[in-house]
């Protein structure tokens, strides 16, 4: 999921003809960002600030759009004239603190060595991990076709900074934040799950199958059945956090049944958009929708696999039984057009 977010971000920038990184290096840059847990939301604020050179958009000025919150070091490189042309713009957005440190280091080194350019070049090469004594190395190995440092050497500079400064990057995620998308990804890996997309798909399908197998005669129609499966899967958002209203899930179910797509798959994709919008509030809704739609094939495979192999699991069976029979959930069952088990209950 995280890699998909970064890929979509770079692809959308390319579609807008924004030169933030060379296409040939994007994959390696994404791997570097993920390794350093760069926060896409903070990155976007920094990137937009750099692209506009600190100027606010009209939407921001009139309060239509939230104001960007770039990190402190961006102030030192907000103007194009303050940036070194050999570094891709995305690197400045992701590591502005590294760049501020690097530029200051160059100035201090130059002053302390009587402005000797050769000495500076040698020491700078060391920071990038470039062996200047290697006569076989060619310029094309160090910089790409656009004259930008290749990710391999940018990574070495970042590594040197980490070893010297021993502090977190400004643009890295807050490890303790509930919006730490990297922590969520680590949990998925522990569970052996491919992505958050397939996890939501599998869980929704399991609830759907439990309801179909044991309670289908109590549902008014497919809308009622789908919505109940969705509410059970989103129960933390609905009953605990109260960030989603049950009617929103019912509306999604109605839209899915009316569409020409397979009801369950269409419903799952729409549900994922709803949940991810809550989990990633700073991401544009169109980006979230594109990410979910782009995972359709993986979602279809995940759903089909569950349909073929699922019998029952205690967690899902208990959740369903509690929701369908407990007096606590009677108002929700009424909202979902679920028939009562007994006339008086």
Strand-pair partners of 172: 38
Q: What gap in Å lies between CA 226 and CA 337, rounded to an integer?
A: 12
Q: Using 50, 70 and 90 to split pLDDT, how confident is the model at 188?
A: very low
Share of the chain above pLDDT 90, in %: 49
Q: Using 50, 70 and 90 to split pLDDT, how confident is the model at 118?
A: confident
Number of H helices, E strands in the chain: 19, 0
Lowest pLDDT segment from 32-36, 190-194, 242-246, 320-324: 190-194
Res 179: pLDDT = 61
Res 190: pLDDT = 38
Chain CA centroid to CA 87, Å: 24
Res 161: pLDDT = 94
Reported pTM:
0.57
Output b/e per residue, 272-283; b: 16+ Cβ within 10 A: bbbbbbeebeeb
Res 131: pLDDT = 84
Are 196 and 2 in contact by the 8 Å Cβ rule? The answer is no
What would the pLDDT profile of 11-30 be if each residue is shown by its tens digit? Answer: 777 767 778 888 889 999 99
Average pLDDT over residues 263-290: 85
């Amino acid at each position: 999921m995280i890699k998909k977010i970064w890929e979509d971000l770079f692809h959308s920038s390319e579609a807008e003809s924004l030169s933030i990184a060379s296409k040939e290096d994007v994959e390696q840059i994404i791997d570097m960002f993920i390794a350093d847990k760069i926060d896409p939301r903070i990155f976007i604020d920094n990137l937009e600030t750099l692209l506009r050179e600190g100027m606010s958009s009209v939407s921001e000025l009139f309060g239509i759009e939230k104001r960007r919150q770039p990190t402190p070091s961006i102030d030192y490189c907000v103007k194009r004239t303050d940036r070194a042309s050999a570094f891709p713009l995305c690197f400045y957005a992701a590591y502005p603190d590294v760049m501020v440190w690097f530029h200051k280091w160059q100035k201090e080194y130059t002053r302390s060595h009587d402005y000797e350019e050769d000495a500076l070049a040698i020491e700078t090469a060391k920071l990038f991990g470039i062996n200047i004594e290697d006569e076989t190395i060619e310029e094309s190995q160090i910089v790409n076709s656009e004259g930008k440092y290749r990710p391999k050497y940018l990574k070495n500079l970042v590594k040197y900074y980490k070893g010297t400064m021993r502090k977190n990057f400004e643009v890295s995620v807050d490890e303790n934040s509930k919006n730490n998308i990297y922590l969520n990804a680590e949990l998925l890996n522990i569970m052996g799950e491919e992505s958050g997309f397939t996890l939501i798909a599998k869980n929704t399908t399991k609830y759907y199958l439990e309801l179909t197998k044991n309670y289908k005669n109590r549902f008014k129609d497919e809308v009622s059945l789908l919505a109940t499966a969705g509410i059970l899967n989103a129960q933390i958002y609905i009953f605990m956090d109260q960030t989603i209203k049950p009617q929103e899930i019912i509306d999604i179910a109605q839209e899915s049944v009316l569409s020409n797509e397979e009801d369950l798959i269409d419903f799952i994709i729409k549900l994922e958009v709803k949940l991810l919008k809550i989990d990633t509030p700073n991401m544009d809704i169109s980006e979230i929708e594109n990410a979910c739609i782009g995972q359709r094939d993986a979602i279809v495979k995940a759903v089909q696999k569950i349909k073929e192999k699922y019998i029952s699991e205690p967690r899902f069976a208990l959740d369903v039984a509690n929701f369908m029979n407990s007096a606590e959930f009677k108002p929700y069952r009424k909202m979902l057009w679920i028939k009562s088990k007994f006339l008086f209950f």
